[in-house]
Amino acid sequence: MAKVTIAGCGIVGATIAYELSKSDLDVTVVDQQPAPVEPDLSVCPSATGAALGVLMGAISKKEKGNNLRMRLAGIQYYERTVPELEALTGLAIPFNRQGIVMLQFESDLSVWERLVGIREQQGWTLEIWQRDRLQQQFPFLNLDQVSAAVYSPHDRQVNPVALTRALIKAAKLNGATFKFNTSVRGATDQSVQTSNGDIASDYFIVSAGLGSTALTAALATPVDIRPVLGQAIEIRLKEPLCANCTLPVISGNDVHLVPLSETEYWIGATVEFPTEAGLSLPPDGAMFEAVMDQAIAFCPAIAQAETIRTWYGVRPRPQGRPAPIIETLPGHPHILLATGHYRNGVLLAPATAAKVRETILGS
């Protein structure tokens, strides 16, 4: 049985582990964190712990190409795999099936009108909603600056922490081994060196997010992945925005309002690039305020909300090349990079796992 070692147990490593664990492979996942991805932290050590889990597939502006194919594959995968994981593990995975409503602030909607036709040919639905429909459906929205909205009924939102935990439990049930509190230090074509000894491996997969840079430097072929910080908040409203209904994710100017319950919501996230000196920490209060101002502008009730939690995490962004990086390491056909997923790692993890599986198993 071929042995596969995976460095990193965020959403990417966990999805790869689950998919590979369905086959006749001996899968070991190693993560330097003391435990699987944690909810409720204010500083998230992994990107996955900070993510909002918004899955922007059909609503992506990309008309065609590999990135779009990966996005749409992600939507299809979660549609069938979330119930599969819940049945297998007994864990609940909050999964919003109401779609995504993206508010528009420009009067020229020609790009979207064109995309509606393209998506239709591709077998997906996008709708343009005029203001009267929006006002009728979501009377709590302030539409003063809003010209219309694009509605994507097939896009989704998933809780990334619950999802990752379920993937880990399901992979364990299939026989995969997880070693937390263990960091990977390097690898050869036959073994992976960790802080707890060597692991004999036929394949080594680097899905260590930001940690991939140091790991690939240790393998003498560095990939440059830089951090892009994101701040977000969980709030509780005094009154439900709508009673007895589940809302879609509502986005405006890249700010997402993610419903968790009738009164609880996530809002985020900032996109903060590092300077020459690196990341600015603690995070920029002004950028966070700008996100809140935008959210309040389209949903005024947020101004009265109680803060439950604020947090930040960093997205792994490949420097000078598109995200993500899924390829074999030059000169090492059994070492695979599956990293640098930047802003869409939850959405792109399933297609990443499929590509890794195909590289190893040929199917």
Ligand X SMILES: Cc1cc2nc3c(=O)[nH]c(=O)nc-3n(C[C@H](O)[C@H](O)[C@H](O)COP(=O)(O)OP(=O)(O)OC[C@H]3O[C@@H](n4cnc5c(N)ncnc54)[C@H](O)[C@@H]3O)c2cc1C
Residues that bind ligand X (CB under 6 A): 7-13, 30-33, 45-48, 50-54, 183-184, 207-209, 211, 215, 230, 232, 268-269, 313-316, 339, 341-347
Nearer to ligand X, 12 or 70 (CB): 12
As given in the structure block, the two tokens for residue 312 are 């930040």
What separation in angstroms does the CA of 303 have from each of 102, 237, 246, 271, 344? 21, 9, 21, 22, 28
Q: Minimum CB separation from ligand X for residue 179, in Å? A: 9
Q: Minimum CB separation from ligand X for residue 139, in Å? A: 26
Q: Minimum CB separation from ligand X for residue 164, in Å? A: 8
Nearer to ligand X, 124 or 272 (CB): 272
Euclidean distance between the first and the last CA atom of the chain, given in angstroms as a whole number: 17
Nearer to ligand X, 148 or 179 (CB): 179
Q: Minimum CB separation from ligand X for residue 141, in Å? A: 21
Q: Check if the beta carbon of residue 312 is closer than 8 Å to that of residue 306.
A: no
Instruction: Dihedral sign for Cα 82, 83, 88, 89, please.
Output: positive
Number of residues in the chain: 363
Q: Minimum CB separation from ligand X for residue 132, in Å? A: 29
Q: Minimum CB separation from ligand X for residue 285, in Å? A: 16
What separation in angstroms does the CA of 275 have from each of 9, 198, 324, 356? 28, 37, 22, 33
What separation in angstroms does the CA of 267 have from each of 74, 171, 289, 333, 348? 22, 31, 11, 42, 21
Nearer to ligand X, 11 or 247 (CB): 11
Nearest in space to 23 (alpha carbons), one of 356, 300, 285, 245: 356
Q: Minimum CB separation from ligand X for residue 25, in Å? A: 19
Nearer to ligand X, 148 or 255 (CB): 255
Q: Minimum CB separation from ligand X for residue 156, in Å? A: 10
Rounded to an integer, what distance in angstroms lies between the CA atom of residue 308 and that of residue 343? 24
As given in the structure block, the two tokens for residue 87 are 């049945």
Q: Minimum CB separation from ligand X for residue 352, in Å? A: 8
Rounded to an integer, what distance in angstroms lies between the CA atom of residue 231 and that of residue 128? 30
Nearest in space to 234 (alpha carbons), one of 308, 288, 292: 308
Stated as kind and residue range, the H or E segment containing 175 is none
Q: Provide the pairing of β-strand 156-158 with 95-96.
A: antiparallel
Omega into 282 within 30° of 0, i.e. cis? yes
* Cβ burial, residue 120 (10 Å; 0-12/13-18/19+): exposed
Nearer to ligand X, 299 or 325 (CB): 325
Nearer to ligand X, 134 or 323 (CB): 323
Q: Minimum CB separation from ligand X for residue 34, in Å? A: 10
As given in the structure block, the two tokens for residue 348 are 């792109």
Nearer to ligand X, 78 or 148 (CB): 78
- Strand order in 2-7's β-sheet? 177-179, 25-30, 2-7, 203-206, 332-339, 325-329
Nearer to ligand X, 46 or 104 (CB): 46
Nearer to ligand X, 104 or 213 (CB): 213
